Amino acid sequence: MNYRLVAKMLSRITFLIAVTMVFSLPWAFPALSGSSSSDFERRGLLALFSSIGVSCLVGALLWMQGRDAKGQMFRKEVMAIVGLSWVLATFLGALPFAISGTSLKKELPGSAYTPAMGDPTSEAADSQQKMYRKRPMTPADCLFEAQSGFSTTGATVLNELEDPAYVPRCILFWRSSTHFLGGLGIIVLFVAVLGQGSAGKQLMRSEMPGPSKEGSQARMQHTAWVFTAIYCGLNVLLTLLLKLLGLSWFDSLCHAFGTLATGGFSTYNNSIGAFASLPHVGPTNAAWAEFFIILFMIMAGTNFTLLYFLLLRKPGKLLEDVEWRSYMWIIGGVTALVVLFGYFHGDEYFYFQGDPLRSLLSGLRQGMFQVVSILTTTGYGSAADFDQWNSFGRGVLFLLMFVGGCAGSTGGGLKVIRHILFLKILGLELEKSYHPSVVRPLRLGGQPVEEQDLRKNILLYFGLILVIFVFSWMFLVTVEPDSTWVRGGTGPASVEHKLIDSASGIAATLNNIGPGLGTVGAKQNYAHFQWYSKILFTFLMMVGRLEVFPILVLVLPGFWRAR
């Protein structure tokens, strides 16, 4: 292991994080001039300056260790840099939350009013009797929030985003900036470093032929820069569209970051569903905003190589791609099923002032929004809380958590291409069970795929994800107190939700989606979990985003030994 070379590369990443923090500073200035939130913004500003200083200090120490680095970067160094950079980013990214005193709204025990059955004022009385206090984020909360941003998961422990007394505006912008940096980093790392031996890289290589090793590296570098330009351009375009629809520059930027990175952090407690109530937006513009966000989420979940061909006016490449066609069929088919079942089940988001046509169009928009949001692993919530959908709709969304976007996109999850290859491998193995002598090559889009270790890698990846999911679920249901689910419920019946909520929480973090079902749904958060469960979620987000191997190898003693 060339430790000096690893330190040198980590120093550059650390300085990049420090520079990114600088762009959050200006958002504190408007509130410093005598407004009611000036004290909180001043605290956020000082926290950012302190975090920038610490990041620069860490970067300088790493640079001093690696300034004389020599030698070539091999696979070990690459995996160490990828894994350690995410660990380092998590700790540095957590500093602004910790230093600023960013807080949660915590309900005081025993403050909730329990109304008698049939009391028509029960809801109002309940809201009046509840009492809250501010609780500063714990170290586990800060690490969770930072990793959720960098991994573009979008899960959160914060439950009051609109009050600067809890989350200063400059800290809120830093929170969304972690999405921008995480989404951009994932694309560049995917092209230049990640995916070795996976089906995703084989697809990328098919678009980047090169006669020599040097040519291949140069082509990958060029592609990384092209992808960066596409990513930034789409962010700018969506920001302008949202601004034209009435959102502020602050909200437009933050939601563009969350959309193109398939992250899902919002600046409102009700996510995208809050747009309709904003004074300069309104219901009509909010519906258009949802439409544009759907479109850009689909693009963010598409292989960026195909978007590049689209810019070159080669739409045929997009339509010929097996993964993209499957991706669009999933979106269309699942949306149709969700809308059909929701319409006949009578879900509330289908009823719009008694107009059947407008009800259907509204349901179609809301249904597609949530399907695309979950499939692309963005995790935004719309005005229609999907946790209030019928059982079929919620079950379908849970299954979509294990699909993900396309390879070479900012989307997380298992990826559509892996599912396609897995089904093809399964079909070939089943055929061999009754035709042992048959020799049939694995094909993708009519073309034979270079197998090598592909079958083993696909099956190993699915197996590892399953093992991690099962053991994490068992840990969570064992250590989390049942009282969290019994409170406000009816005893044992409420405890049963613990199993479902825990499973959906693990699926949502491992696949980098964010919201799950029940107590971790679109209108809820992860604040109620114990600190050790939050550390588990933080680990799962990192493992899911880096596709398991770059993180797991860090704990192997043999990985750090000299060659």
Give the model confidence (pLDDT) of 235-281 as tens digits: 999 999 999 999 999 999 999 999 999 999 999 999 998 999 998 99
Using an 8 Å Cβ cutoff, are 510 and 472 in contact? yes
For residue 116, give the DSSP letter.
Answer: P
Q: What is the CA radius of gyration of the chain?
A: 24
Distance of CA 331 to the CA centre of its chain: 18
* Assigned domain for 524 exists: no
* Assigned domain for 64 exists: yes
Total domains present in the chain: 1
Mean pLDDT of 320-336: 94
- Please state, in angstroms and rounded to a whole number, the distance separating the CA atoms of residues 449 and 161: 48
- Please state, in angstroms and rounded to a whole number, the distance separating the CA atoms of residues 490 and 487: 8
* Band (2; pLDDT cuts 50, 70, 90): confident
* Assigned domain for 158 exists: yes
Which of the pair, 384 or 55, is modelled with greater confidence? 55
DSSP calls for 280-297? TTHHHHHHHHHHHHHHHH
Helices and strands (H and E) in the chain: how many: 21, 4
* Assigned domain for 109 exists: yes
Q: Which two tokens stand for residue 525?
A: 């958060």
* Band (62; pLDDT cuts 50, 70, 90): very high
* Assigned domain for 234 exists: no
* Assigned domain for 502 exists: no
Mean pLDDT of 304-324: 90
Supply the pLDDT for residue 35. Answer: 61
- Asked whether residue 201 carries a pLDDT value surpassing 70, the answer given is no
User: Per DSSP, what are the bridge partners of residue 448?
Assistant: 443
Torsion angles phi and psi, residue 103, rounded to 5? -125, 165
Full residue range of the structural domain in which residue 87 is found: 1-114+123-186+533-563
Q: Which two tokens stand for residue 318?
A: 């997009």
How confident is the model over 334-358, as pLDDT tens digits? 999 998 888 777 776 655 556 677 7
How confident is the model over 384-406, as pLDDT tens digits? 788 888 889 999 999 999 999 99
Strands 443-444 and 132-136, bridge-based pairing:
unpaired
Lowest model confidence (mean pLDDT) among 110-124, 197-211, 294-308, 396-410 = 197-211
* Assigned domain for 86 exists: yes
Supply the pLDDT for residue 37. Answer: 66
- Please state, in angstroms and rounded to a whole number, the distance separating the CA atoms of residues 55 and 99: 13
Q: Which two tokens stand for residue 429?
A: 């193995």
Q: Which two tokens stand for residue 75?
A: 């696979």
Supply the pLDDT for residue 482. Answer: 81
Q: Which two tokens stand for residue 49?
A: 């300056």
Q: Which two tokens stand for residue 306?
A: 């195909």
- Please state, in angstroms and rounded to a whole number, the distance separating the CA atoms of residues 14 and 60: 9
Three-state SS for 133? Answer: strand
For the whole model, what pTM was predicted? 0.88
Lowest model confidence (mean pLDDT) among 1-5, 183-187, 261-265, 300-304 = 183-187
* Band (208; pLDDT cuts 50, 70, 90): very low
Torsion angles phi and psi, residue 374, rounded to 5? -75, -45
Residues of the chain above pLDDT 70, percent: 84
* Assigned domain for 247 exists: no
Supply the pLDDT for residue 487. Answer: 54
DSSP calls for 225-290? HHHHHHHHHHHHHHHHHHHHTT--HHHHHHHHHHHHTT----SSTTGGGGGGGSTTTHHHHHHHHH
- Please state, in angstroms and rounded to a whole number, the distance separating the CA atoms of residues 321 and 203: 10
Q: Which two tokens stand for residue 136?
A: 């500063």
- Please state, in angstroms and rounded to a whole number, the distance separating the CA atoms of residues 434 and 140: 53
Three-state SS for 103? Answer: strand
